[in-house]
Structure 1
Amino acid sequence: MNAEFFEALSMLEAERGLPAEYLLEKIKNAIVIAVKKDYDVEDENVSVEIDPATGKFNVSLLKQVVDEVEDTRTQISLEAAQAKRKTYKLGDMFQIPLKTKDFGRIAAQTAKHVIRQGLKEAERSQMYAEMQSKAHEIVSAVVTNVDPQRGIVTLELGKGGVATLPRNEQVPGETLTEGQHLQVYVVDVVESERGPRMMISRTHPGLVKRMFEMEVPEIFDGTVEIKAISREAGARTKMAVWSKDENVDPVGACIGPRGQRVAKIVEELGGEKIDIVRWNEDPAKFISEALSPADVVGVEILEGETRACRVTVPDHQLSLAIGNKGQNARLTARLTGYNIDIRPESGYYGEEPPVKKTEE
């Protein structure tokens, strides 16, 4: 029977991918619980030895050797113990070997239930660890179902299981269909009553960031660093890059030969525009770069607790600097962390100038 038991244990480890040590611990606990129920004793009165290396599988009931027996379930007299072995003395634990059939039907069912629960817990824990390793990464997915009423899309993530993409995490204007392959960003992995669950997104700035890390070798090897990124999914992304190597153009590296690298990412994002700008530790220079494609005449960093600045642009560049519905200025504010007040070079007329202001 022992040989069959250890063979079954090996099969469980191979098929479920669960560590043998974990399974053995759960099985030991299950047997202890079963013996406790069947013999009405406590943990200290049960001994379970399981050793796959030697094929040892022993279960014993332990009784303390005493002068006068008060509880026959947990105690044995010195005389009775020494009748079995002369070396027993007061205080020793007398071992009574048990056979599997001695556990009875209820004990066996209890052991089976606890083992089953242990396996479920182990698989759940393993699944959580596997999912957690994908947090803040891009995973490939296939659309399996689209709910047109609620706007929820169900995705198959391969070994990662199934996840739902809520409407607010979908790119505006993007139409997803069953069977479609796409990339999603894993924002987080959370525990729920039904097991671990991936929180995924198509709108998160991290999606674009990871795409560039995968597409641009200079980012992957650390020569070029993405310092900041801001995004309005489906419309425009601004990304600030910097290189520790003076001989490497960080913007050019991200754009790639004939624009191939950035073009590939734009295509994956359904035509979303991407502005790549050079990061600078000087806030004024960084803000000037970030307002691209507009030209900037000057940037004045305003004193005070709030991070704010006043930017002057040529008159004909004002609408370009602000962008459609304020998008360019808004993304620049998020990218740089500064509230931006944009003014034309010719200035304003009247006592109260109509300030074009964008907050982060």
Structure 2
Amino acid sequence: MVEAAPTRSESSLARAARLSVAPMMDWTDRHCRYLHRLMSSQTLLYTEMVTAPALVRGQARHLLAFNGEEHPVAVQLGGSEPAELAEATAMACEEGYDEVNLNVGCPSDRVQSGRFGAVLMTEPKLVADCVAAMIAASSVEVTVKCRIGVDDQTPEEVLPDFIDHMRGAGVTRMQIHARKAWLQGLSPKENRDIPPLDYPLVLRMKERFPEMHLSINGGITSLDQTEAFLANGLDGVMIGRAAYHSPSDVLLEADQRIYGVDTPARSPEEVVRLMLPYIDAHIESGGKLGNISRHMLGLFTGRPGARQWRRILSEGAHRPGAGVALVQEALAAVEPAAA
């Protein structure tokens, strides 16, 4: 177990950031985050990216809605206009988020066309202006999630310069996806797999910037890896796809292993039962079961009965009247096999 007692200088949010679930478009919505919070009371959760133009120009403040049970929770913003990002940050603070994060890592064409995401790795001065404006408008910590470089950049040169710009603008905590992003020629999916990982570079950045709280992201799938990175000096680990597709493996023992909490870990079955009132309330308010159940499909990954669980939910969640009874039916198909 990793020693989890916070130091005098360590904030509660920095402690939470020892393990975080990455912001993932179309995945880490409020229903997903509620599920993840039932699995770990300590892990820091991130929203999907919300663009500053949508909030400020599009008046889409509803995109910031979240459940109070999700704390600690951070919102990730996308944008490249300092004043606009400052206004969006102020909105997020009013809504009660614990952290505001700037996306400098997403490589999609849609994001590039908006001049934000990974393309901003080429404009560290602009990003520094953005985060300085965000910090001035914020009542909570502002952080940055970035890549190690893009296209033909040399990460060994680009990344420390980028971190130095962020530090100069007042940022004290960053999350680094340990891959380059190729802005032309690779899809967003390919950008998550094809560029090679460079974990040693991120470890060297922690040695070079010891005062910065640095989390590593990219290709990490287990608590064993998380503990190893923390033991090697990194301040935090951010897990993406594995936390979504196999959440029980990543989150159920996180409180005990990463944070030193002594309460027993919940079982996947217990988590499902705790989700039932939430599902019922969502359906009562006019929502659909599929809005929530799609995030629950991986709860029993690797367990006997997982296939039946996924099949029952996948085939039935979008039928008229689908609700708690269908989830209970799916759970009943799992429990005898898991007993």
Q: Give TM-score scaled by structure 2 length.
A: 0.24
Query: Which of the two has greater strand per residue?
Result: 1
Larger relative CO (CA 8 A, sep 6+): 1 or 2? Answer: 2
Query: Which of the two has greater helix per residue?
Result: 2
